[in-house]
Amino acid sequence: MKKVHNFTAGPCVLPQVAIDNAIEALKDFKGTGIPVISISHRTKEWDAVMDECRALWRELLNIPEDYEILFLGGGASMGFLYVAMNFLENKAAYLETGVWAKKALKEAKALGNAYAVASSADTVFNYIPKGYEIPTDVDYFHITTNNTIYGTEIHEDMDSPVPLIADMSSDIMSRPVDVTKYAMIYGGAQKNVGPAGVTFFIVKKDLLGKVSRYIPTMLDLRTHVDGLSMYNTPPVFPIFVMNETLKWLKGLGGVEVMYKMNKEKAEILYAEIDRNPLFKGTAAKEDRSLMNVCFVMAEGYENLQDEFFAFAKERGMTGIKGHRSVGGFRASIYNACPKESVEALVACMQEFEQLHK
């Protein structure tokens, strides 16, 4: 069978060992004779998975004890509402760096006074805004650390005079993070830490319960803190696969080692984009994402786009089409994307160049 190189933006490539272990658990979960998708979440065998998964998160990101780690449903899109429901009392500030940041802001505006302190919409979100001041009279400042559609990323943990909340859906566990700088970090698992269906929250517990509004039970994060993410039936199978994925990451050496690997992969691909006269990158160089590499055909070669798609597909490249809102190409090179796949894409680009010299 032809080798397939998976660059899809999510759900994304997962470690083979996590997939293999999930297949075995679908047959028999921990010797119970029951598939993991049929196991009761009130069993000691399942409790052990939840405990191990929380412990891995805490260890890999050095999460302090005054933060709770939650595994919920609804995706980061539901997380947008969780943020506003649990933290917005008077006013909130957002950094608008893409579609998902805009959607997060929209949910906050529906509940109260929320606004963008800076935006990169003027150039189709191809850079991270700079030179703005974080206001000190807001309940929180919200950022989206990696922008999958446009290929931009905030590479360092910023200092904030107010509680900082971050959607880290697409770069969590890809680099070291100073969790203590954040009031909450949240995101969908389906980029770096598991399959679609589970959303992670890392929340400073003493910041909850400060708003005066009524919060519906299922949208109150205190409900899930008190219920240890099992107030209602959790997304069992995605959590199991997430746990296996984090075990794989720990076995590699942890987040510091993964960060070095991710930088190397990104440098290989960006170097080829910058060198190859047929292609050009779309994100500002200082803000280029390590997770989502976005590029287009260079000026004068735009008519070759469809030909390159077909050429790359024939050589096993899948998922490289850019988001429908921007077009072009996007190679998502998340944690489990091997360097060999990046090298195969580079070789494909070089071969295509030779055909059109």
Distance from C-alpha of 160 to C-alpha of 247, rounded to nearest angstrom: 32
100 is catalytic: yes
Q: Is the pTM of this model over 0.95?
A: yes
Indicate whether 90 and 197 sit together in one domain.
yes
Q: How far apart are CA 231 and CA 28, in angstroms?
A: 25
Q: Which of 252, 268, 302 is the last residue before a domain boundary?
A: 252
Reduced to 3 states, what is the DSSP secondary structure of residue 318?
strand
Question: What pLDDT does residue 325 have?
Answer: 87
Residues 6+ apart with CB under 8 A from 1: none
Question: Is 235 domain-assigned?
Answer: yes
Domain co-membership, 38 together with 157: yes
Kindly give, in sequence order, each residue whose CB lies less than 8 Å from that of residue 333, ignoring residues fewer than 6 positions away: 7, 262, 265, 266, 269, 290, 291, 292, 293, 341, 342
- Looking only at the bridges linking them, the beta strands covering 279-281 and 292-297 are antiparallel
Strand residues in the chain grouped as ranges (E): 5-6, 67-72, 91-96, 113-119, 141-144, 146-147, 152-153, 164-167, 184-188, 199-204, 279-281, 292-297, 317-318, 329-332
CA atoms within 13 A on the CB side of 75: 12
Q: Which domain holds residue 294?
A: 254-355
25 and 121 together in one domain? yes
- From 57, 139, 171, 191, the catalytic residue: 191
Separation CA 16–CA 23 (nearest Å): 11
Q: 3 pLDDT band (50/70/90 cuts)?
A: confident
**Domain assignment of residue 105, yes or no:** yes
57 is catalytic: no
Number of H-type helices and E-type strands within the chain:
9, 14
Tokens standing for residue 16 = 């083979």
**25-61 per-position pLDDT tens digit:** 999 999 999 999 999 999 999 999 999 999 999 999 9
Residue 2 pLDDT > 80, yes or no? Answer: no
Rounded CA gap, 72 and 338, in Å?
Answer: 29
Predicted confidence (pLDDT) per residue in 63-81, tens digit: 999 999 999 999 999 999 9
pLDDT tens sequence across 178-217:
999 999 999 999 999 999 999 999 999 999 999 999 999 9
Residues 129 and 259 in one domain: no
C-alpha 154/C-alpha 156 separation (Å) is: 6
Is 102 one of the annotated active-site residues of the chain?
no
Catalytic residue among 46, 57, 100, 139: 100
CA dist 41 and 36 (Å) reads 10
Catalytic residue, chosen from 46, 57, 139, 167, is: 167
The answer to the question of residue 1 being in a domain is no
Cis geometry, peptide bond prior to residue 176 (ω within 30 degrees of 0): no
Cα dist from 246 to 74, 88, 254, whole Å:
21, 32, 9
Q: Return the CATH number at 245.
A: 3.40.640.10
Considering the domain architecture, whether residues 158 and 287 belong to the same structural domain is answered as no
How many domains does one find in the chain?
Answer: 2
pLDDT digits (tens, 9 = 90+) for 105-133: 999 999 999 999 999 999 999 999 999 99
Specify the pLDDT at position 293. 98
**Residues 226, 99 share a domain:** yes
